[in-house]
Structure 1
Amino acid sequence: MNLLFISLPIKSTLYFIGVTSDLSGRILQHKQKTYKGFSAKYDCNKLVYFEQFQWIQDAIDREKQLSGFTAKKDKFSNKRKSSLE
């Protein structure tokens, strides 16, 4: 089973989008901050959403799709914010 997941930090508007074949193990890694990176730095350990895929490539493609959407959303937000200043 291959999963795309989104986790959130408790006190922030940031979020982490990832792909795994072991969701419970991956969330445990986030909670224990096993790897020093984005999820550890911003404490992204609250699972808020996941999608299941038969093939890992489908999960990766969906991750890229969602990551691309968020980048466009952030670019739009920043552009709009700077035009208000």
Structure 2
Amino acid sequence: MLKGNYFVYIITNPGKRVLYTGLTNDLATRLQQHYANRGKRDTFAGRYYCYRLLYYERFSDVQQAIEREKEIKDLSRQKKEDLISAFNPQWKFLLP
């Protein structure tokens, strides 16, 4: 079992219309990658300009992070919005 820093995160586009859930072990670098990929049609986040961080959870166990990412991805849009609102009530764009 791998131990370290793992982040499950939700990003959005500047208009906050699209939500993307991901998993990484380096949140700052991953956000830079999303920003660099904006507008690129070969990835979901790039196609929809998702690079603004709204929500994240940190895990030390990679398996727990993977399971949590799957849980969040399976949530309805409303439940994702509720999760973000509980963590970040004003939906401010966060920095890692």
TM-score (norm 2): 0.68
| Structure 1: distance between partners of 2:76 and 2:6 | 22
2:27 is equivalent to residue 23 of structure 1: yes
SS of the counterpart of 2:51?
strand
Sequence identity, in percent?
31
What is the aligned-residue RMSD (CA, Å)? Answer: 2.0
TM-score (norm 1): 0.77
After TM superposition, give the deviation of residue 43 of structure 1 in Å: 0.5
| Structure 2: distance between partners of 1:21 and 1:12 | 24
After TM superposition, give the deviation of residue 70 of structure 1 in Å: 2.5
Gap regions ≥5 residues in structure 1:
74-85
| Structure 2: distance between partners of 1:50 and 1:66 | 11
Gap regions ≥5 residues in structure 2:
80-96
Q: How many residues align?
A: 73
Q: Which of the pair is proportionally richer in helix?
A: 1
Q: Report the counterpart of residue 2 of structure 1 in structure 2.
A: 6
| Structure 1: distance between partners of 2:16 and 2:60 | 32
